[in-house]
Structure 1
Amino acid sequence: MDDAPQTPAGPGPLASFARFVLFGGGVGLLSSGAVALLADSMPWAVANAVITIASTLLGTELHARFTFGAAHRPGWRQHWQSASSAAAAYVATSAAMLALHAVQTSPGTLTEQIVYLSASGLAGTARFLILRLVVFAADRGRNATPAPGPQLRMPTKSAPLPTLTLA
């Protein structure tokens, strides 16, 4: 039996989601403004790609440490998995913006921001589920402290398995 102290399990789903919204939303809002600034000097899709890469790296670090309570910094596996979910978010936000520009040839900045942030919010919810259930799920299981209360134990030779009889 391992007597080394274990780190407590990460925050529950509601606390994780609240932190995800706080950190992810904060990075998302900063990203939204940065995309708008960069889009003045380059094509919007390129600006979105640059900001998506930078915000994904920052977001993965924040989510590992604060949102999901990982015991260590994210490794390459977590960064690549997070990047894959961010790539899907990039496709979603780009498709939303392309659709907007197909419908309105010259939408205003406010309309662009509403569409971009709406698409980002939907993509962000999907990313939360992926990060919680896939990317950082192994960390929660590996770092979890056993729950208090009765523990199931394997029977020993001195304690035979109970038998079930049917009447």
Structure 2
Amino acid sequence: METAQSHEPATPGAFTAFARFALCGGGVGIASSFAVTALASWIPWALANALVTVVSTLLATELHARFTFGAGGRATWRQHAQSAGSAAAGYAVTCVAMLVLHQLVAAPGAMLEQVVYLTASALAGVARFAVLRLVVFARNRTQAAASVRTAAPVYAAVARTSADPAALCRAA
């Protein structure tokens, strides 16, 4: 019997993909924080943050395409653009959260600012994971599902037995 072999890598499950997303995104995020600090010693902080954000989003998208979501290769320009959009939305969420905090609390302490920022960042991260998994890198799952749907149907043979349980026991 001949079996069809797929050359595409298996798509990881949601839990595995989320763990990989957190590892890749977290690693890039930590590296980015050091890069912004170092770069800001030479150029204005806002410019350093913008440059690092662009580079880190490109790097994270490549890692997500190759490792997190099992796309099996480099990210396309479409995936980079959609990923950048989701990163920009996450950036906006954290900015709004900090703006609201400063509207509600006249002089928030560093601890409260960190709690609000990290909470907003975590919520944005979960939403970003969903967008990347369900939209940006969903193409492979859609193609795999389409190939399963177009395969020849398999019919199962069902043996009819007596509805009498006692008869089933006697037959055994």
What is the TM-score normalised by the length of structure 2? 0.69
- Could you say which residue in structure 2 is the equivalent of 1:96? 97
- Could you say which residue in structure 1 is the equivalent of 2:13? 12
Confirm or deny: 8 A CA contact 1:78 1:135 kept in the other structure. yes
Q: Does 1:62 align with 2:53?
A: no
For 2:59 and 2:37, the matched residues in 1 are separated by 19
Fraction of identical pairs, as percent: 55
Q: Does 1:83 align with 2:84?
A: yes
Q: For each residue in 1:1-59, what CA deviation from the matched residue of structure 2 results, as whole angstroms up to 9, or x when unmatched? A: xx775123221111101111111122234445555677787466x65544432221111
RMSD, aligned CA: 3.3
Letter aligned with residue 92 of structure 1: V
Q: How many pairs are equivalent?
A: 149
Confirm or deny: 8 A CA contact 1:8 1:143 kept in the other structure. no
Which structure has the larger Rg? 2
Q: For each residue in 1:82-120, what CA deviation from the matched residue of structure 2 results, as whole angstroms up to 9, or x when unmatched? A: 011111111101111222233345444443333222111
- Could you say which residue in structure 1 is the equivalent of 2:124? 123
Higher share in helix: 2
Range with bigger deviation, 34-43 or 80-89: 34-43
Q: Alpha-carbon deviation of 1:79?
A: 0.1
5 Å-filtered alignment, 1:20-31, equals 20-31=21-32
For 2:39 and 2:119, the matched residues in 1 are separated by 20
| Cα distance change, pair 31–115 in 1 and its aligned pair in 2 (3 A) | farther
Structure 2 spans left out of the alignment, 5+ residues: 155-172
| Cα distance change, pair 53–109 in 1 and its aligned pair in 2 (3 A) | farther
More relative contact order in 1 or in 2 (CA 8 Å, sep 6+)? 1
Structure 1 spans left out of the alignment, 5+ residues: 156-167
